[in-house]
Chain A
Amino acid sequence: MLTIIGIGSPMPGDQLGWQVIDQLQQLRQHRDIELDTYGSLQPANQIQSIDQIQLIKLDRPGSGLLDYLDVENRAILIDAIMSEQHDFGEVIRLDAHQLVAPSDSAVTRKQPSLLSSHGFGLREALLLASQLKRLPPECQIIGLNLYPSLQSSGNHIAYNSLHKTPAEREAFLSIDIRPLIALVTTEINSAEALRNV
């Protein structure tokens, strides 16, 4: 079983994960159409195993993410990503196990006691899942980089508040999620292909 979880909120400004799940839901319901909200997407019939996939939208789950992770299932988490090392709008794929590996988690462990539910984000949830042996062996994070390349620096408070200039805001609002959908559908198909080998 493959579980795809879109992380976001019902409020504008943090809906990327939910938009991807909405698109996949539509592909599931209307196999013969091409979506035009963001231009033409992958034809639905190319996603071979969409019926067998769990599609879930979560509203800033914090530690609640663990309720949806199952070590027996493969998981893909879709979320917005802030990275100064990537271009704005670039699709980023991360292995969740890399994020919680001792070498990397040391960064988080520097300030673990700062955690409160307000500060309990995706990475903290994955760390907790890893400690509790509940992180699926195959767990990927796929997202779009929303860090505004036009801006040299900023506070990491909320990504939409970083888009301060009209040009940045316009870029943010019109961001193209098609490459992200394409990568997710490729992943779905590769999961199916692997199962058929």
Chain B
Amino acid sequence: MSQSRRIQIDVPTLARVEGEGALKFSAENGRITQLQLRIYEPPRMFEKLLEGRHYSEVPDIVARICGICPVAYQISAVQALEDIFQVEISDWAKNLRQIMYCGEWIQSHALHIHLLAIPDFFGYDSAIAMAEDYPLEVTRGLKLQSLGNKLITLCGGRSVHPVGLKVGGFHHAPELEAAQTLKAELEEALPDIEALIHWLDQISLPDDHQAFTCVALAPDQALTPAQALSPVQATASTTTQGNNQINADYPIMGRQLTATTNTGNGEKKEKEEGERKESRTDKESNTSLNLDIEHFQDHFKEHQQDCSTALHCLLDGQPYLVGPLARINLNYALLLPQVQQQMTQLQTQFPSQNMFHSVIARALELYQAILQAIECLENYQPTNTPYEKITVKAGTGFGCSEAPRGILWHSYQVDEQGLIKKATIVPPTSQNQARIEQDLEQSLYQYGLEHSDDELRLRAESVIRNYDPCISCATHFLKLDISR
């Protein structure tokens, strides 16, 4: 096929992503001339809707932003509000929030792996079509997803837009018997998730290494650059990196952010793409940022693009990645020993610069979440005091948690009556949007523009699906500039 052919690919509705987006892609003479991820789903204006509402209403309102990751929205929100009211929640509530969040990771990751991502790698249009030939694998995925939903229901009353969380803790304590039953179900599912990880590891994924910056929460006692970047050594009981022992959980909620650029696997790659020449030396990694979430907006700036109703967010002017692969790349030393043990048996090595390894990163996090939930349920006992009393005070607070798709940052300003004066929510998909466009360009060059339109379209869609974008989440705002 000639390099001089004109390529025009218009995907009016992106498939197997949550929400409504489109892709416009043009190329001529072997050069990409237009590449736009268009998010056209109407803005939902949640930040404005929150203004004037009582702080106690916030968890239930923000849960409506997403049907897949409502827990993330609720947790980031209550964290920010508890930050304002300077309330320290009990260890009991922290433990239950961890369980609930694990439930969300389990259901969201299982859903994305099985219903959205893997049909690409097996040549099917959908999980429904794939189910005929892979019934056991699809059934296993549905079972794992269902377990996640049960955990959310245990803590939140229902799995979609749960209602259990409140500022200060939880409205009520789950029953002991229900918690124990679910713990037993999670333990029974461990062989399933181990089988899933190894099955995914056998899939032939595209070899598409790129340089990119990863951003994720760090443990509150942040890793040193040396700790964050040295290879993992797993043992049965402790986690070590280099000579440094680390005692911290794989972060889901926290106050510290960390970022690295060019995390890699030690290979040096050079590639010529038309007139472009790209040179990347892996292991040039360095930790470029350790930041309290309070200072998020000093480095992370949102801006509007004409093509999108979702804001693009840049880190010091550059695209960056959030989500499972970024988390694993940055925090793999903090994964539970059983997860690290599985990782040592895989062909796929982490940290990885191949975005297609996201599907395996997601499965490893699914395993982590199940193990973590079992651990948290181990000594669970109901309590009569599931929440702390709140004393309202005016102020500004910040919350950040690792939604299944990446960091979800909230900030609220509250007045002395407890009414919301201002709300700012930065969801993961708008943070990944610039990175997706950057990835698309690099990936399509690397794949080769000589491929047919259908092949290029499928590759482009697969690239986008690696990020598990939730467009409905990303369009919760409307930035309106009026000139008079």
Contact = CB atoms under 8 A, between A and B. Distances in A.
Interface of A: 9-10, 59-60, 63-64, 66-67, 109, 112-118, 120, 124, 127-128, 131-133
B158 interface: yes
A64 B145 contact: yes
Interface string B47-77: 0000000000000000000011000000000
Given A60-B160, A66-B142, A67-B146, A114 B128 contact: no
B35 interface: no
Contact of B472 (A9, A10, A118): A118
A113 B458 CA distance: 11
B160 A59 contact: yes
A112 B126 contact: yes
B38 to A, nearest CB: 16
B132 interface: yes
Nearest to A67: B146
A115 B17 CA distance: 8
Interface size class of B (residues with CB under 8 A): 20 to 34
18 contacts: A9-B160, A10-B158, A59-B160, A60-B67, A64-B142, A66-B142, A67-B142, A112-B126, A114-B13, A114-B15, A116-B16, A117-B67, A118-B18, A118-B472, A120-B115, A128-B131, A131-B128, A131-B129
Interface string B101-133: 000000000010001100100000111110110
A74 to B, nearest CB: 22
A10 B68 CA distance: 17
A66 B142 CA distance: 8
B448 interface: no
A176 to B, nearest CB: 29
A118 B16 contact: no
A115 B18 contact: no
Given A64-B146, A131-B135, A116 B18 contact: yes
B115 A59 contact: no
Interface of B: 13, 15-19, 67-68, 111, 115-116, 119, 125-129, 131-132, 135, 138-139, 142, 145-146, 149, 158-160, 472
A117 B18 contact: yes
- Among B128, B131, B132, B135, max chain A CB count under 10 A is at B128
The 8 closest A-B pairs by CB, nearest first: A112-B126, A113-B15, A131-B131, A113-B125, A112-B125, A131-B132, A116-B18, A127-B128
A115 B117 CA distance: 11
A59 B157 CA distance: 12
B16 A115 contact: yes
Given A64-B159, A115-B127, A132-B135, 14 more contacts: A60-B67, A60-B160, A64-B146, A67-B142, A109-B125, A114-B13, A114-B16, A115-B15, A116-B115, A116-B116, A117-B111, A120-B115, A128-B131, A131-B128
B151 to A, nearest CB: 14
A24 B231 CA distance: 61
- Among B68, B131, B159, max chain A CB count under 10 A is at B131
Contact of A63 (B135, B142, B472): B142
A113 B149 contact: no
A113 B126 CA distance: 5
Nearest to A128: B128
Contacts of A63: 111, 115, 142, 145
A132 B139 contact: yes
A132 B67 contact: no
Given A59-B160, A63-B115, A124-B128, A116 B135 contact: no
